[in-house]
């Protein structure tokens, strides 16, 4: 008959010192959404954007998204034009 190994009792948690919570920083404006690449069943390259919970928010073909990126002007280009 096998004997059970003795296990040491767990140590009691020490109470933490109470500290004031740091003030929250001002909300940042939403930056550029990160896009991940996928392949469709037909082999086309896709861009997928996810929301905060990880669900798909938007899925576009690479060609369409790339064309839109090229058409959009950056802040620096807009500023230089003025």
Could you read off the pLDDT of 10-54 as tens digits, one per residue? 666 666 666 666 565 555 555 667 888 999 999 999 999 898 888
Q: What is the distance between the alpha carbons of residues 1 and 25, in angstroms, rounded to a whole number?
A: 62
* pTM of the complete model beyond 0.85: no
Q: What is the pLDDT of residue 46?
A: 92
Q: What is the pLDDT of residue 8?
A: 67
Could you read off the pLDDT of 48-78 as tens digits, one per residue? 989 888 898 988 999 998 898 889 888 888 8
What residue segments make up the domains of the chain, in order of their start? 35-74
Q: Where are the beta strands (DSSP E) in 1-82?
A: 35-39, 45-50, 56-61
């Amino acid at each position: 008959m096998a004997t059970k190994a003795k296990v040491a009792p767990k140590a009691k948690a020490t109470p933490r010192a109470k500290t004031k919570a740091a003030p929250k920083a001002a909300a940042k404006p939403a930056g550029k959404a990160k896009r991940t690449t996928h392949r469709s069943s037909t082999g086309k390259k896709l861009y997928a954007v996810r929301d905060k919970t990880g669900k798909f928010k938007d899925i576009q073909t690479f060609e369409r998204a790339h064309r839109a990126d090229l058409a959009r002007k950056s802040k620096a280009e807009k500023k230089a034009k003025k």
